[in-house]
């Protein structure tokens, strides 16, 4: 896919300007899911800026982001990396047949105490 197109699409969806990044790495320093991620928040910012988005789309990292907004709040430049991750993730699951979580898979993952909130949130994050 065309790099510029993909990048512009991500920027439009997220409303993020990755050029504001000063590459301090505080987003990745603050990320609670860092060790579970192949690409880290600061890499999302720099790779999206370069249009290097396809590797991100294929990465499991998309589903490890907890949407806790710590990177958004602590970024000294107001870059908001979580919004970029969300944009890339959405652009994947919006593709046909790309749902990560299917209704049939849910029962196996449930336990008695799991709140509804967990299920609906996971659906929002993993499926379209």
Partner 1 sequence: MKFSYFPGCTLKNKAKDLDIYARRSAEVLGITLEEIENWQCCGGVFSTAKDEVATKLSSVRALKEAKSKDQPLVSVCSACHNVIKQTNHAIQTDKEFADKVNRYMAEEPYNGETQVYHYLEMLRDVAGFDAVKAKVVNPLKGKKIAAYYGCLLLRPNSVMKMDDPENPKIMEDLIKAMGADAVVYANRNECCGGYVSFESPELAKKKSLAVVENAKAAGAEMIITACPLCKYNLIKNGADIPVVYFTELLAEALGVKEDTNE
Partner 2 sequence: MQRIGVFVCWCGSNIAGTVDVQAVSEALKNEPGVVYSTNYQYMCSQAGQDMIKNAVKEHNLTGIVVCSCSPRMHEATFRKTAAAAGLNPYMVEIANIREQCSWVHKEMPIGTEKAIILGKAAIAKVNLNTPLIPGESPVTKRALVIGGGIAGIQTALDIADAGFPVDIVEKQPTIGGKMAQLDKTFPTLDCAACILTPKMVDVAQNDKIRIFSYSEVAEVGGFVGNFDVKIKRRARYVKEDVCTGCGACVEKCPMKKVPNEFNLGMDNRTAIYIPFAQAVPKVATIDPNHCNMLKNGKCGLCAKVCAAGAIDYKQQDEIIEEKYGAIVVATGFNPISMDKFDEYAYNQSKDVITSLEFERLTNAAGPTAGKLLRPSDHKHPHTIVFVQCVGSRCAACAEKGKEYCSKICCMYTAKHAMLTRDKYPDTEVYVFYIDVRTPGKNFDEFYRRAVEEYGVHYIKGMVGKVVPEGDKLKVQASDLLDNKQLHIDADLVVLAAAIEPDKSARPLATMLTASMDTNDFFTEAHPKLRPVESPTAGVFLSGTCQGPKDIPETVSQAGAAASKVIGLLAKDKLTGNPCVANSDELMCNGCSSCQRVCPYGAISYIDKEFRMPDRTTKIRRVASVNPAVCQGCGACTVACPSGAMDLKGFANEQIMAEVDAICK
- What residues make contact with partner 1 under the rule CB under 8 A? 12-15, 32-33, 36, 63-64, 66-70, 72-73, 80, 82-83, 86-87, 90, 101, 109, 111, 113-126
Read out DSSP for 9-77? HHHHHH---GGG-----HHHHH-TTGGG-SS-HHHHHHHHHHT--HHHHH-GGGGT-----HHHHH-TT
- Reduced to 3 states (helix: H, G, I; strand: E, B; else coil), residue 83 is helix
Interface residue with partner 2, options 70, 84, 88, 93 (CB under 8 A): 70
Q: Which two three-digit tokens encode residue 84? A: 């970029």
Within 20-59, the residues that bind partner 2 by CB under 8 A are 20, 22-31, 34-35, 40, 42-43
Q: What are phi and psi of 118, to 5 degrees?
A: -65, -40
113 is in the binding site of which of partner 2, partner 1, none (Cβ under 5 to 8 A by kind)?
Answer: partner 1
Indicate if the alpha-carbon torsion angle 35, 64, 53, 31 is positive or negative. negative
Nearer to partner 1, 47 or 81 (CB): 81
**Minimum distance between the CB of residue 36 and partner 2, rounded to whole angstroms?**
11
109 is in the binding site of which of partner 1, partner 2, none (Cβ under 5 to 8 A by kind)?
Answer: partner 1
103 is in the binding site of which of partner 1, partner 2, none (Cβ under 5 to 8 A by kind)?
Answer: none
């Amino acid at each position: 896919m065309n790099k510029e197109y993909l990048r512009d699409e991500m920027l439009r969806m997220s409303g993020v300007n990755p050029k504001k990044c000063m590459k301090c790495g505080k987003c990745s320093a603050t990320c609670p899911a860092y060790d579970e991620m192949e690409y880290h928040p600061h890499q999302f910012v720099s790779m999206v800026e370069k249009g290097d988005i396809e590797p991100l789309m294929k990465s499991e990292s998309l589903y490890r982001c907890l949407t806790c907004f710590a990177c958004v709040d602590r970024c000294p430049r107001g870059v908001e990396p979580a919004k970029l991750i969300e944009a890339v993730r959405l652009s994947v699951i919006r593709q046909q047949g790309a749902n990560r979580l299917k209704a049939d898979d849910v029962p196996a993952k449930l336990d008695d105490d799991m709140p509804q909130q967990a299920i609906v949130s996971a659906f929002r994050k993993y499926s379209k």
